[in-house]
Amino acid sequence: MNNIFYEGSVMWSQVDANMHLRHSAYADFAAQARLNMLETISITSQVLEQLKVGPILFREELIYLREVRPNDTIRVSCEMCKIRKDGSRWSFKQELFRSDDVKAAIINVDGAWIDMQKRKLTVLPEEWSARFLEIPRTEDFIVEVVH
């Protein structure tokens, strides 16, 4: 298990009536792992606020593989699997593991950067775009060329 960007315990408030991790908590853990990953390359929430740029998602797919129970410790990985040549759009593959190292879920997301003032899609400034490319990548990583 490489590229783990979040580790934490499942709280009671994240459990559903069936006594396992509720569906939306998977997405919350994945989002936190992505934010933590950005922080490792110095793209902090403060930097994004100063740039007036933020990440948005177009698609979020959760594939549930195994139950996650209350008080279990989970770990969430994050790797980039696709990016447009200009860095404007990107895709991540994330995996959620239980404390017994069993893969419990796969989370796939497609997203982009949005100019928070203009409310239009944008690219990161060159310095930050170069840092964004330092993110760990999947073995089948591709750069998408748009014509």
Q: How far apart are CA 46 and CA 25, in angstroms?
A: 25
Per-residue pLDDT of 11-47, as tens digits, reads: 999 999 999 999 999 999 999 999 999 999 999 999 9
Q: How far apart are CA 132 and CA 47, in angstroms?
A: 13
Answer for the pair 50, 44: CB distance below 8 angstroms, yes or no: no
How far lies 8's CA from each of 4, 72, 109, 111, 121, in Å?
11, 8, 21, 25, 33
| Domains in the chain, number | 1
Q: How confident is the model at residue 117 (pLDDT cuts 50, 70, 90)?
A: very high
Q: Given this model, what pLDDT does residue 120 score?
A: 97
Q: How confident is the model at residue 1 (pLDDT cuts 50, 70, 90)?
A: low
Q: Given this model, what pLDDT does residue 114 score?
A: 98
CATH of the domain at 59: 3.10.129.10
Average pLDDT on 110-138 reads 95
* Element of type H or E holding 42: none
Domain that holds residue 98: 4-144
Task: Give the pTM.
Answer: 0.93
Q: Given this model, what pLDDT does residue 61 score?
A: 98
